[in-house]
Chains A and B, each alone.
Chain A
């Protein structure tokens, strides 16, 4: 078998914000580091992030500090977050922003020259460091340029299909089973490549391509979630999928593309077909104390946050997405089945163009809508998966020695629902921690791992299987059927009978994937690439469906029509997925880690 081989201390899979931040940290801690990514450097999904990086820097509101940010994050996740991750995240995010600035990132400024911060859903104070509505582009560009400057090796357009495990020597604890490397293929040539390394950091992002309407791109096929499971790691919180309340819904070719929450943070409001600001009808008791009751109070809040409460349009995303869903179902939707997002009647054209330049162009060019003059039509779109690899908060280590995960592919940080702005901060905070811990692990085990030859041969054989079959289905047909299944049966609102049906269909799709065939050769063949992504998508979809069926309550990004209330027992229970010996997904219930008293006190002392 023709196989290109490399040896490193740390291999990072994924070149979004978390992956690049991890690689930089590993490199700076003396590890020989490589980044492997499916697309070109700088094109990863992070580039699409718009709103900003949540960090309690207190530049606009000196009252803000990590404790308030911690509290907002936990409440946004309906208290299911891993408290330690939420704590580290809130404490370290400001340093990560300043560090990014030191590396060259630009941010919008206050008149005094400080980094400006903007309002977002669920955040008590204006907290998102941003540049216009293209913060992700600036973040990825800065990290990309630093990666290049440091001379870190990057394997672009290269897909990892297997994590390799085996005996690992060194580290003083004798021999244990752990990560020994990774196996993949060059998208361009189709040739195989293996990296020997005692540490692998997964930073592969999310799973949105399993859904029909999504803001995610083709890359989001759940590779890292699936690779981790197959290597023996566990996934947590998989039932929680975030539907961003405001995706474009028209024209059809752009359906699902994100409309940033900044539109609401900067004054935009949601209206139904009757012109009503319906969010006032959907304020849950959990957030009633901190949410405005009247339109007047809500409008005053933008200027005076101390004496007024937040507009209900800025409730956490799960609440807003559910409300939009209900309005449309009740027949109060727009012509194309969404609701109106109106900033035109509330802010000057100049303000809108300055604060939201990308949105202005996006609607102008893709939908022929002038957002300074008319409202947008928006609806929920699958955006983010809260669930992911279960990790040690301080080190981002998974249960398999040598395996680390950071960013969207990791679970626990966001509980049942992520606040906007908390993902760019998440990937900086935990990308750094993962890179550091991966380097430390690797340096203890240098020379202690070898590539398992039998596993390499098996991985190569499995990758080529679709070429050996003839007359099978086109992989796109299977993908579309999966997307329709998840959209219809495991979407925003779920019920037992539908989830059961989804599980049956997923099993059927699995049989179809085993039979599909691809045309052409190994060189840059998108059909083949998808054929290799599909098993990941199915495995992750099964995790989502099984966990969604098991959790008989509604919380955050998981709403059960048949169990509409939150449940006290489920409030302290996590669901953990593990791969059973027969290849199926099995679930275990696990008690939520106990928050120490000094953190629990924050929920009493910080006003609501």
Chain B
């Protein structure tokens, strides 16, 4: 194995640069180094102005997503040696406005998140937590939605989603998976309210079922499955609306 590898990093400083450009750095190629280790090496030893987000180093905070050789990845879980001999291109996540270097603006997602009402919606008579009373939920009921709860908001699915790339109004894979997480939760009664949000113009119907979101998800959340389920639910509602009188829906 060579003892160094070249990182080809997208740099962009909006205050001085008209557009992003490449800058290359040679970093040590060690078997156990991730792309994030390479970037931190550059920032600590070579160029302290290189900007990127990171935190936990263990794939749980979802901060360090970037496009590595064109593919959305968590850089803390992407090994340089898997991209040898290089050069390895590192770009900000696709489909988001770039703030600076590898940092992107996620405010669009932050604004979309509450739209799917990601909390338990109670039956009307339920008010507040009672002392010594907890919900009952069997392990089987938990398994029904657990997978959709693994999302770490890393945004790789948005970076991979061709629909979001074309139509930023599309509510997007992670938000839909989150809605499904609550719909499938036996404690929740909010399915109807969320469906109303998701069948709006840019809800689930935006998706053309490319499946890229599921492919790049580092936590195997399977947003594509959630989107399919919503399309089915929406279709059922349409049929019901057509066949049944209002009160029976």
Q: A residues touching B (Cβ–Cβ < 8 Å)? A: 39-43, 45, 47-48, 57, 94-95, 98-99, 101-104, 106, 108-109, 111-115, 131, 134, 136-138, 142, 145-146, 148-149, 188, 217-219, 251-254, 257-258, 358, 361-362, 365-367, 474-476, 480, 518-521, 523-527, 530
Contacts and interface: CB of A to CB of B under 8 A. Distances in A.
A41 B103 contact: no
A253 B38 CA distance: 10
A41 B55 CA distance: 12
Nearest to A47: B61
Contact of A103 (B119, B137, B150): B119
Contact of B63 (A43, A102, A104): A43
Contacts of A520: 48-49
B119 A519 contact: no
A475 B49 CA distance: 12
Give me the 10 closest cross-chain CB pairs, A-B, nearest first.
A251-B32, A527-B48, A113-B136, A520-B49, A524-B51, A524-B100, A476-B44, A217-B55, A102-B129, A104-B120
A380 to B, nearest CB: 17
Nearest to A361: B59
B60 A109 contact: no
B153 A219 contact: no
Interface string B228-245: 000000000000000000
Contacts of A523: 13-15, 100
Contacts of A131: 149
Contacts of B45: 476
Nearest to B133: A98
Interface stretch (B110-118, B161-169, B198-206): B110-118
B56 A217 contact: yes
8 contacts: A40-B106, A104-B182, A104-B185, A106-B149, A113-B135, A366-B32, A523-B100, A526-B49
Given A47-B61, A102-B120, A104-B120, A524 B136 contact: no
A162 to B, nearest CB: 23
B240 to A, nearest CB: 28
B3 to A, nearest CB: 15
Given A40-B106, A41-B110, A519-B48, A109 B142 contact: yes
B34 to A, nearest CB: 7
B53 interface: yes
A146 B119 contact: yes
Contacts of A530: 48
A473 B37 CA distance: 22
Interface of B: 13-16, 30-34, 37, 43-45, 48-51, 53-63, 77, 99-101, 103, 106, 110, 113-114, 117-120, 128-129, 131-139, 141-142, 145-146, 149-150, 152-153, 182, 185
Given A138-B149, A524-B100, A48 B58 contact: yes
Contacts of A258: 58
B33 A253 contact: yes
A106 B114 CA distance: 18
Nearest to A46: B61
Given A111-B138, A518-B48, A104 B119 contact: yes
Given A41-B110, A114-B136, A527 B49 contact: yes
A106 B119 contact: no
A188 B99 contact: yes
A40 B31 contact: no
Contacts of A145: 113-114, 118-119
A101 to B, nearest CB: 6
A113 B138 contact: yes
Nearest to A145: B118
A104 B13 CA distance: 40
Contacts of B31: 251
A338 to B, nearest CB: 15
A41 B106 CA distance: 11
Nearest to A147: B114
Given A521-B13, A521-B15, A101 B135 contact: yes
B142 A99 contact: no
A114 B134 contact: yes
A40 B109 CA distance: 12
A253 B114 contact: no
Nearest to B149: A106
A43 B138 CA distance: 30
B49 A42 contact: no
Contacts of B133: 98
Q: Residue among B32, B48, B118, B153 with the most chain A CB within 10 A?
A: B48
A251 B132 CA distance: 46
A530 B51 CA distance: 12
A21 to B, nearest CB: 14
Given A103-B120, A253-B30, A40 B53 contact: yes
A45 B117 CA distance: 25
A48 B56 contact: yes
Given A475-B48, A524-B99, A101 B56 contact: no
B88 to A, nearest CB: 16
Given A43-B53, A476-B44, 7 more contacts: A40-B53, A41-B110, A254-B57, A258-B58, A476-B43, A518-B48, A525-B48
